[in-house]
Amino acid sequence: MTDPTPVQGWSELLLALPEFLLTDARIDEHNELVAHVELPRDVQGCPRCGVIDLHPLHDWRTHNVRHLPVAGRATRLVWRKRLLGCVSGCGTFAERTPSIAPGAVWSRAAARMAVAASAENIPIDRIRREFGVAWNTVMRAVLAAAEQLAPVRASRVGIDETVMTTGRLTRRRRQFLTALVCLDTALVIAVTQGRDRAAAARLLAEFAPEASVVALDLFSGYKSAADALEDAVIVADVFHLIRLGLQALDEVRRRRQQQIHGHRGHRDDPLFRLRRVLRVAQERLDEYTLAKIFDRLRAADTDDEVGAAWVAVDLLRRVYQAPDRDTAHRRLIAFYEWVVHVDIDELTRLATTIDRWQDQVLAYFDTRATNAATESAIIGSPVQGVVDVADVAA
């Protein structure tokens, strides 16, 4: 469109901005839609004295604003804005419209859509590329929308950290966030920077001061923060405990690989070829397959350390298959006895860690709380409700 005459209706059809007149539109060298718009000459209220009148024109200004994408293209509005002189003599002021906040870098409709996209778990980086704005612009709108939600006072919460990478590819930095999640609804309650005791303590003190259950990883910083709550039961997460066991198994296998062959695992090395099947729970294998795997382990590792580590991980898994706390405690003692019997350094360190967290490990059988909801929620939280960010000026 090249006709410089303002066209009534095109702005509403193309840009969903019915109050504007579209004077020109083109695709620029960045494959973005550049739309030139202006408001019709009409009465305006002076922001100083409040007088509503057809104030005389004093000058023109240009305001560049990002708007909703059109046909998959980022859209830039070039608003030719009138500078008006107040009829009561209190000075000049610029035209205003509810669709675009004064000095905003994008329209309020764009801010609403960005918040809605974030609620649908679309990454912030993808959203800002679609709108052609900075990452911080989108994040400010999302945080402003979050502040308008009613605070959730959950009694069962989970704490976990996530990593956020920022900066250019040549100078990449990692920033860690700590998230507090309601285990009953799988909703993210709050997020703060850092992954230490102070970060977790801030979240718990402000958003879950009366929490009765706190599920967390085996991280002493989070545990110290949860200990500050008077009546909270701290639960060590099942997944992370089993992962520690599998990590110890991998360490034993890699050490024996180096001792036997003098190098890292190669494709045809027996222990390396067994690395994935050793992560499978033994109860999922039939007797023939189990016997075959143990035979291959004994042939590959004559000291049978890898096989002993696999048994230790299986004993640890069986703890969580117990029907009650007493049975789980007995199975945990069997795990300790096996570790003492085989006397493998990696397993001894694992057992020492579990012994230090034993009360929190067994608390699972009193609460049946895990951090599974937390792990999934920090990737993308379900929407708690519709948030109106019309008053958010980015």
Helix/strand/coil percentages in the chain, nearest 5: 45, 20, 35
Identity at 200, one-letter amino acid code: A
38 — phi, psi (to 5°)? -155, 160
187: which 2 tokens? 């909703």
Query: Are the CB atoms for 46 and 93 separated by under 8 Å?
Result: yes
Which one-letter DSSP state was computed for residue 381?
A: P
228-284 residue pLDDT tens: 998 899 999 999 999 999 999 999 999 999 999 999 989 889 999 999 999 999 999
Query: Are the CB atoms for 203 and 178 separated by under 8 Å?
Result: yes
Which pLDDT band, with edges at 50, 70 and 90, does 2 fall under?
very low
Question: Domain residues of the chain, as ranges?
Answer: 10-104, 112-147, 156-237, 239-366
The reported pLDDT for the residue numbered 381 is 43
Which pLDDT band, with edges at 50, 70 and 90, does 164 fall under?
low
Query: Are the CB atoms for 21 and 8 separated by under 8 Å?
Result: yes
Strands 33-38 and 21-27: antiparallel
| 212: three-class secondary structure by DSSP | coil
46-71 residue pLDDT tens: 888 888 889 999 999 999 999 988 88
Percent of the chain residues past pLDDT 70, beyond the cut: 88
| 363: three-class secondary structure by DSSP | coil
At residue 121, does pLDDT exceed 70? yes
